[in-house]
Amino acid sequence: MQKLSTRHLLGIKDLTPEDIELIMATATEFKEVINRPIKKVPSLRDVTIANVFFENSTRTRLSFELAEKRLSADTLSFSAAGSSVKKGETLLDTVNNILAMKVDMIVMRHASPGAPHYLSKHISANIVNAGDGTHEHPTQALLDSFSMREKLGDLAGKKIAIIGDILHSRVALSNIFALKKQGAEVMLCGPSTLIPRHITELGVTVCHDVKKALAWCDVANVLRIQLERQQIKYFPSLREYSLYYGINKKMLDELDKEIVLMHPGPINRGVELTSDAADSHHSIILDQVENGVAVRMAVLYLLAAQN
């Protein structure tokens, strides 16, 4: 059996193109499994996985929990909201206490960029980064790539536009790394205040006109405005943002080609996407959610095989 080149999934930056291909191939097999009448396999029986979430999550948390159950793993869930973290316990102490209960793998989301990297230097369990601040969200990028490949086949030479709040998005950075490693062309589109300086050094192009970006791309991956991370105002109002960067079905229908519309969720309907666009035949947003379970099953299975 092929193996990953790493013991942890901390970010797409650490993966090789071969790692990505292995995850995609394994996810394809698991997608077939989760569409059977009996959706469970005993692949991770006797493996214990802790979901340690220091930040709010709906899709990612449910997706990981379901992936773990489908693989027959034992799971425990930790939420910082009602924990000893509120009493001043450190991240390392919290995780070491969980590991003392003989946990094999940690799935962690944290508000601080680099938190899972720090943890990986101090504990022996495998770590899956479920999002660290504005840094990376590797499983989201992998499921996005998997969803694109289902629609378009090989991504080499394909044109992907990432539109919205690039500055605060961990999804954008992970997607850039994943898409470049698969040979795709990437364009970022959004207000200049929401595009990081020097981002073009990652081999991407930048555009500030959403209609030009849509006309150029094969896939538009639309990101929400992350108001909870914004300490200052980056644009006058949501209404103005929607006017200049919002996407509606009319814009998609006016294109001279069919494009694929994606969104990592949650959608702010009426801001970055109108309901008629989000629910149109262009959209594969719900396919992304379904594929998330298969991709996370693949990641957990491959990391457990490293031990």
Q: Listing from the earlier edge strand, what are the strands of the sheet with 260-262? A: 205-207, 185-189, 159-163, 219-222, 260-262
Residue 59 marked as a ligand binder: yes
Strands annotated E in the chain: 48-53, 74-79, 105-110, 126-132, 159-163, 185-189, 205-207, 219-222, 260-262
Which stretches of 76-209 are DSSP H helices?
91-99, 115-120, 138-152, 170-181
Tokens of 106: 């940690």
Residue 109 marked as a ligand binder: yes
Residue 208 marked as a ligand binder: no
Residue 224 marked as a ligand binder: yes
Report the distance separating Cα 139 and Cα 203, nearest Å: 22
Residue 61 marked as a ligand binder: no
Residue 306 marked as a ligand binder: no
Residue 140 marked as a ligand binder: yes
Report the distance separating Cα 280 and Cα 252, nearest Å: 9
Report the distance separating Cα 29 and Cα 19, nearest Å: 16
Q: What is the DSSP letter of 83?
A: S
Residue 265 marked as a ligand binder: yes
Sequence-distant (≥ 6) Cβ neighbours of residue 146 within 8 angstroms = 24, 27, 291, 294, 295
Tokens of 217: 């791309």
Classify 64 as helix, strand or coil.
Answer: helix
Q: Which residues are annotated as a binding site for carbamoyl phosphate?
A: 59-60, 109, 137, 140, 265-266
Q: Which residues are annotated as a binding site for L-aspartate?
A: 87, 170, 224
Q: Which residues are annotated as a binding site?
A: 59-60, 87, 109, 137, 140, 170, 224, 265-266
